[in-house]
Amino acid sequence: MPEPLIYELSSPGRQGVTLPAPDVPPAALPAELMRGELPLPEVAEIDVVRHFVRLSQLNHAVDTGFYPLGSCTMKYNPKVNEDVARLPGFAFTHPLQDPETVQGNLALMYMLQEWLKEIGGFAGVSLQPAAGAHGELTGLLIIRAYHQSRGDTRRTKILIPNSAHGTNPATTSMSGLQVVELPSDDRGNVDLAALRQACDDTVAGLMLTNPNTLGLFEEHVREVVELVHGCGGLIYGDGANMNALLGIVRPGDLGIDALHYNLHKTFSTPHGGGGPGSGPVGVRPQLVEFLPGPVVEIVEEEDDEQAPLYGLVMPARSIGRVKAFHGHFGMHVRAFAYMRMQGKAGMRAISDHAVLNANYIRVKLRDVYHVPYDRICMHEFVAEGRWEDAPGVRALDVAKRLMDFGFHPPTNYFPLIVHEALMIEPTETETKATLDAFIAVMRRIAEEARTDPELLQTAPHNTPFGRLDEIRAAKELVLCCRPVEMTPAA
Amino acid sequence: MAYIPHTDAERKEMLAAVGLQNLDELYQAVPADVRFPDLDLPEAVSELEIAQEMQEMAEANVDVQHFACFLGAGAYNHFIPSAVDHMLRRGEFYTAYTPYQPEISQGTLQAIFEYQSLICNLTGMQVSNASHYDGATALAEAAILALNHHRGRRTRLVLSPAIHPHYRQVVRTYMQGMGVEIVGDEHLPGSADDLPAKIDANTAMIAVQYPDFFGRIRDWTALGQAAHAAGALLCVVVNPLSLGLLRPPSEFDADIVVGDGQPLGIPMSFGGPTLGHFTVKQEFVRKMAGRLVGETVDSRGQRGYVLTLTPREQHIRREKATSNICTNVALMALASAVYLSLMGKQGLRQVAELCYHKAHYAAEQLAAVPGYSLWTKGSFFHEFVLKCPRPVAEINQALLDLDILGGYDLGQDYPELRDHMLLAVTEMNSRDQIDALVEAMQEVSHA
């Protein structure tokens, strides 16, 4: 049974919250600026709580089951993160307080900057960007500002491999730069011949996702970096796949000049049903002065009596603010707690087990699902959801059928360079028992594709909702509801 | 190891299945000279230790539960009903991803649909997206919409100087590669009446704030008419909580209404995460960036919700997309939906009225203190500007010793407003707190 809308639970005169009586004399209200109708629902607290609890129960989530959604790193979100982020000293501080009154916050942000620098091999980090795509925009604006500052204004092209995340081309346009797409070779790497041809003095940079969206470590990363640097361009690293690289290799050591981290992927802050994320950007030395600000710096060194004094500083040639205030601080707190609990040894262990889990599923499925680039993968791999002897079945059907067994489907139809792609990323936080259960179901579905294709084509069957009519949604375009009493009679 | 559940035996078994002897062999493709760096990071601590350590860090801060807060300027200390956070802490909500698979994501989808509805009804606008990062980035995205609406033929944006300084800075950051001229906020004029004169035939959009950065409220109807006469769009940046009391910006014929939803049930959390709300007139729906949830039916005939009009978005249109946004702040949108539901028709009006009356009481009392005067003329909501007899930083330092967080030092952003303090008063400030502030301000009025 679908849950009614909150407006459908409304009864005139009901109220969910009581507020204190006024303790000051009333002031005159400017009549010409007062609103008439305030069309909000009128519901009791119990209505609101039951409504949203029931809605929550219609969701699949990491807390309810396996979520192998490729490129999204749906790892477990530690509960203690949620507790520490809500400590009054963090949650109830105002962003414009005098820095001397928020030294705890600034110390935390400073250490997080330092750790991210160390993990990525960078000279500077800004925590301001609010999400991965926001970090990408930041990174490209930094690259643009760097070239501009050298009077190198001809550089307007950004090279993007065709296996890149969809955000990369959109980000490039937003930065006022032009996209040049590069093909992949037959091992899933950047096609070096095409790259060599594209490299000239109009190239501002190249956006590299490494591991790429096939889950493969770029085998020619050194050559790619050399070619781009050789023509005067810079390398932007899409850090969405950092979960494979912690303690394995530092992007800065590979020559990547700027990279965003997704704290909501790699560092366990929750995805929240689509945010808030956090997308800090790390850069090599020549780009530090262009970082968005403010960043946290030590403004007075510690001595025998005093802890260091932290302050908020705008980098000298900053591209400017990318957000009001200081970024998603609540996410910084969660990532800090997680990184502190992992420590040095834990970082390497995260990637080791994320990569091991992905390879384990790959070898257990590759005889029944075609894996087009079948070599040791990193934290994820891409299989095809199609069979010659099951012509009516598509990756989408496999995805929907998985729901019947309590699993969230892998990412499908991405990357675009694989037909009927199923992109599987298990993360390190899953037990072998969960992986084995998933493998068994995937094998069963591959069999059903031949024996009972309709079962897949009409799936899911065991979920509270069947397939939704997306065409109707786009055609009728009902994007909000009005209060019941305001709806015109039919 | 924390949150890695593998036993030694399982690890061995899995490695064998992959055909490897040890974990190092997974990384043959990584250049050997930079493989396995020795990271200079602290050793791991337990959950027990991290909870204590972070408690200490949090306690190194001054927070608004222990100090009376009169600081606003874009982030506000409001009452958050308990039920809001209880809903956010549902693992089914906060550990889910973007609802790409609607059959198992109806909770998030319907909650966003309800958020869109509540924000539309509050602002009077016809369409709301699923959210932007914050009010500042929402304004920048509004500028992009306006430029695209004019297909790049208009390249001028007019920003009121009374828009939050950070928001104007973010617009400039976003626009730096786009060849756009941003005018109107070079200095603070005596009145807002010279804004219409800044609109020319090349202007894509004019943006104002309501209540403005200084807390003032005014009717923007004439400005909307002037903008539309010149073919420009009107964008209004709002504090959504004020709309419990004030006329919605739709009545000024605004084309785009954006703002920060932090006052609607979201803790200040040192400035983030908050909520960028973004609403438009129906005619701009296909030009609007960000996720949108629409109503439909499922294969069993049940009403349900899906992400819709996705062809506008980055993963389909790639470089032709108007924005790269994907992850937004869905959980914060949920917070504001729960908050607006709990407050409802009567509660939101009561909160807004409490803010209004308390701010006016504080303004009147402070203006009567010798040495201080009210810079703000005319109507204001819950913030006002006080001209002070001493530098604001010095006054605030003295207030801090009395457990009071004073107002914002406007001289930082507006040279004309040296020694002017922007104060915010909300339902969280009792009369006793306000009286204590007045007394303290009197004491600290001279060095």
User: What 3-state DSSP class applies to A212?
Assistant: coil
- pLDDT, tens only, B335-353: 999 999 999 999 999 999 9
Q: How confident is the model at residue A39 (pLDDT cuts 50, 70, 90)?
A: very high
Residues A152 and A230 in one domain: yes
Mean pLDDT, residues A195-205 taken together: 97
Same domain as A367, residue A256: no
Digit-coded pLDDT (tens) for A388-437: 999 999 999 999 999 999 999 999 988 888 999 999 999 999 999 999 99
Same domain, A198 and A310: yes
Mean pLDDT of A322-343: 98
Query: How many angstroms separate the CA atoms of B411 and B395, rounded?
Result: 14
- Express each pLDDT in A213-225 by its tens digit: 899 999 999 999 9
DSSP state of A273: T
Same domain, A19 and A120: no
Cα A218 to Cα A190: distance, rounded to the nearest angstrom: 7
In A48-90, DSSP assigns E strands to none
Instruction: State mean pLDDT over A9-14.
Output: 96
Report d(CA B212, CA B220) in Å as an integer.
11
Question: Do both A107 and A199 map to the same domain?
Answer: yes
Specify if A487 maps to a domain: no
Q: Shortest CA distance to B127 belongs to which of A482, A335, A475, A416?
A: A482
Contact assessment for residue A35 and residue B219, using Cβ atoms and an 8 Å cutoff:
no
CATH 3.40.640.10, applies to B82-339 = yes
Name the CATH architecture for the domain at B68-79+345-443: Alpha-Beta Complex (3.90)
Query: Helix, strand, coil: what percent of chain B each, to 5?
Result: 45, 15, 40
Same domain, A353 and A433: yes
- A74 within domain boundaries: no
If you measure CA to CA, which chain A residue comes closest to B306? A470
Question: How many cross-chain Cβ pairs, A to B, lie less than 8 Å apart?
Answer: 696
Task: Tell whether B346 lies on the interface with A, counting CB pairs under 8 A.
Answer: yes
Q: What is the reported pLDDT for B190? A: 62
| pLDDT at A228 > cutoff 70 | yes
In angstroms, what separates the C-alpha of A421 from chain B's closest C-alpha?
Answer: 15
Q: Which of residues 102-141 of A touch B (CB under 8 A)?
A: 102-105, 107-108, 115, 118-119, 121, 130-134, 136-137, 141
A156 and A225 inside one domain = yes
Cβ of residue A159 closer than 8 Å to a chain B Cβ: no
Of B60, B91, B291, the CB nearest to A103: B60
Q: Which among A118, A253, A341 has the least Cβ separation from residue B44?
A: A341
Q: Terminal CA-to-CA distance of chain A, rounded, Å?
A: 25
Domain-located, residue A485:
no
Helix, strand, coil in percent for chain A, rounding step 5: 40, 15, 50
Residue A487 has pLDDT above 60, yes or no: no
- Angle of helix A45-56 relative to helix B106-123, nearest 10 degrees, comes to 140
Q: What is the band of B287 on the pLDDT scale with cuts at 50, 70, 90?
A: very high
User: Is the pLDDT confidence value at B209 over 90?
Assistant: yes
Residue listed under structure tokens 């408690």: B55
Tell whether A1 is covered by a domain. no
- A4 contact B CB<8A: no
Contacts of A159 in chain B (CB under 8 A): none
What Cα–Cα distance (Å) separates residue A7 from each residue in A61, A146, A238, A484?
26, 52, 42, 7
Strand partners, A102: B61
Instruction: Determine contact, residues A292/B234, Cβ cutoff 8 Å.
Output: no
Q: List the one residue out of B375, B75, B238 whose CA is nearest residue A325.
A: B75
Interface of A with B in 198-217 (CB under 8 A): 216-217
Lowest mean pLDDT among A164-178, A465-479, B37-51, B105-119: A164-178
**Domain ends where: A340, A357, A386?**
A340
Give me the residue label for tokens 């992007």.
A251
Residue A489 has pLDDT above 50, yes or no: no
Min Cα distance A387 → chain B (Å) is 23
Residues A291, A154 within the same domain: yes
CB-based contact B361 A340, cutoff 8 Å: no
Residue A164 shares a structural domain with residue A284: yes
Q: Please indicate, yes or no, whether residues A122 and A229 belong to a single structural domain of this protein.
A: yes
Residue where the block lists tokens 């792609």: A421
Q: Domain count for chain A, please give it.
A: 3
A415/B88: higher pLDDT: B88
Of A305, A323, A340, the position where a domain reaches its end is: A340
A21 CA to centre of own chain: 44
Which residues in chain A (314-373) have CB-CB distances under 8 A to chain B?
Answer: 319-331, 333, 336-337, 339-350, 352-353, 355-357, 359-360, 362-364
pLDDT number for residue A362:
98
* The pTM of the whole model exceeds 0.90: yes
Question: CA dist B194 to A213, A452, B385, Å?
Answer: 53, 72, 21
Same domain, A307 and A263: yes
Which residue of B46, B291, B342 is in closest CB contact with A274?
B291
* Main-chain dihedrals φ then ψ at residue A258, nearest 5 degrees: -150, 145
Whether residue A238 sits in one domain with residue A161:
yes
Distances (CA, A) of B48 to A78, B1, B51, B206, B311: 13, 15, 5, 53, 47
pLDDT in tens, B383-408: 999 999 999 999 999 999 999 999 99
The predicted pLDDT at position B188 comes to: 81
Q: Which domain covers residue A10, as residue numbers? A: 6-56
Same fold? B68-79+345-443, B82-339: no
Q: Is residue A68 part of a domain?
A: no
Q: Is A298 left (phi over 0), alpha (psi -120 to 50) or beta?
A: beta
Provide the 10 A C-beta neighbour count for residue B37. Answer: 16
What distance in Å separates the CA atoms of residue A301 and residue A122, rounded to the nearest whole number? 22
The per-residue pLDDT for B192 is: 64
Interface of A with B in 285-314 (CB under 8 A): 292
User: Predicted confidence band at B194 (pLDDT cuts at 50, 70, 90)?
Assistant: confident
Q: Which residues of B touch A477 (CB under 8 A)?
A: 285, 294, 308-309
The per-residue pLDDT for range A423-466, each reduced to its tens digit, is 999 999 999 999 999 999 999 999 999 999 999 999 999 999 99
pLDDT band at B191 (very low <50, low <70, confident <90, very high): low
- Chain A residues touching B364 at Cβ < 8 A: 27
| End residue of a domain, out of A320, A340, A360 | A340
Q: In the structure, what pLDDT confidence band is assigned to residue B61 with cuts at 50, 70 and 90?
A: very high
Domain of A155, CATH number, reads 3.40.640.10
**What is the pLDDT at residue A485?**
59
Q: What is the pLDDT of residue A484?
A: 67
pLDDT score of A312 more than 90: yes
The region, left, alpha or beta by phi > 0 then psi within -120 to 50, assigned to residue A53 is alpha
Domain boundaries, chain B: 8-51, 68-79+345-443, 82-339
